[in-house]
Amino acid sequence: MRILIADDEVVSRTILERTVKGWGHEVVAASDGEAAWAALRADDAPKLAILDWVMPGLEGPEVCRRARALGRPVPTYTILLTSKNDSQDVVAGLESGADDYVVKPFDRAELQSRIRVGERVVALQQAFADRVRELEDSLARIHRLQGLIPVCAWCRRVRSDQNYWQSVEQYMAEVTDCRISHGICPTCLEREAREPEAPA
């Protein structure tokens, strides 16, 4: 997973980068809040971010607030990493939109566990977003089928939305997931059997 690490202290950021990379993650580093915010609002934003609270430009909670306000179907999972450990600070951090809170100096095992929790949450959100998109696509197809379908009275071809006449089979394949197979119904079979053969 791509993880954003934002910390203005070079030593702290380097230690955290090496630790997270050692767990097999790809790291995107930022040295201040503005750089962190730029990374999070990009189209290819990392799915998880570890943000220092106190940074130049924008502080960690403000970055969390802005990231949450983007309203993406799968928001970046944010972890505030800070030396602030009062209960009021924890509440303020979580109220800003952070998903988790880790106190410096961090315990490696604890941080790794919290990252794993973030990975699970992101995976669930992605699966949910994919399902919603599938349902929206299905509803769009159903909506198209509920309207008036123009069919030629002679050849039985269907006029598409682009004013193109096509066979019923082609039209149904475009607007639904079904395919049409052909057979002969009993009525037509009986009628064909009754019709006299043409004279030789």
Q: For residue range 152-163, what is the model confidence (pLDDT) as tens digits?
A: 878 878 887 777
Alpha-carbon separation of residue 102 from 58, 78, 115 (angstroms):
19, 11, 11
pTM over 0.85: no
Q: Is 100 helix (H, G, I), strand (E, B) or coil?
A: strand
Supply 198's token pair. Answer: 């043409």
CATH number among 3.10.310.30, 3.40.50.2300, 3.40.50.300, 3.40.50.20, domain 2-133? 3.40.50.2300
Separation CA 120–CA 118 (nearest Å)? 5
pLDDT at 200: 56
Secondary structure class of 106 (helix, strand, coil): coil
- For the residues of 55-82, what is the DSSP string, one character each? -SSS-HHHHHHHHHHT--SSPPEEEEEE
Predicted pLDDT of residue 24: 95
Q: What is the pLDDT of residue 199?
A: 60
Ranges of each domain in the chain: 2-133, 148-194
Are residues 108 and 121 in contact, defined by beta-carbon separation less than 8 angstroms? no
* Tens digit of pLDDT at every position of the chain (200 positions): 999 999 999 999 999 999 999 999 999 999 999 999 999 999 999 999 999 999 998 999 999 999 999 989 899 999 998 888 788 888 888 888 899 999 888 899 999 999 999 999 999 999 998 888 888 877 776 666 556 678 887 887 888 777 778 887 787 777 776 777 777 888 887 887 776 665 65
Res 141: pLDDT: 67
- CA 47 to CA 120: how far, in whole Å? 11
